Amino acid sequence: MFRHMLDFEPCLDALTYILMVGSCHAIVVGISALVFVPRLSQRGCAAYILSIWRVLLFNTLLLLAGVLANGFWMTFIYDHMYVSQDTTVDFIPFIPFGQWVLNMEWGGKTGILLNGTKLWQLRAIWLLMAFVVWLSTVSLYRRWRPHRDTAA
């Protein structure tokens, strides 16, 4: 069953996004775990774990919102307003869309804008979508974040 899901392009895009961008989020969580080590001696193990859990929750929500936004981007923007040679991940909410996406070369070819689209239009769409992703992530995080009194 799983093998057939990978034949469905949006599922493959989502899996690729989770693997590629999720590794960046995992690095952020790992670095945060190191940065929060002084909390062990200052506030104890419970505060340290709570801090890491909060970073993990925020990054997980940002990753999931990014997966949805990338799916929207690949469905409605890519192949309608531009094409690029490397579509591993085209929408990332913390890396602005730019000429670099079109300049990625694959087999001697680069990307192009379609239907009279201007680069500023794609940047404006990226900005709007990134704003929605970050706003929804922060809103969900504020609703679901663990509080100190529930951790112990």
Q: Which of the 8 DSSP states describes residue 147?
A: P
Domain count of the fold of the chain: 1
3-state secondary structure of 97: coil
pTM score? 0.86
Residue 56 burial (10 A CB sphere; 0-12, 13-18, 19+): middle
Domain range enclosing 65: 2-151
pLDDT in the model for residue 99: 86
Cα separation, 40 vs 135, whole angstroms:
31
The 10s digit of each residue's pLDDT in 17-55 is 999 999 999 999 999 999 999 888 888 999 899 999 999
CA distance 23 to 64: 13
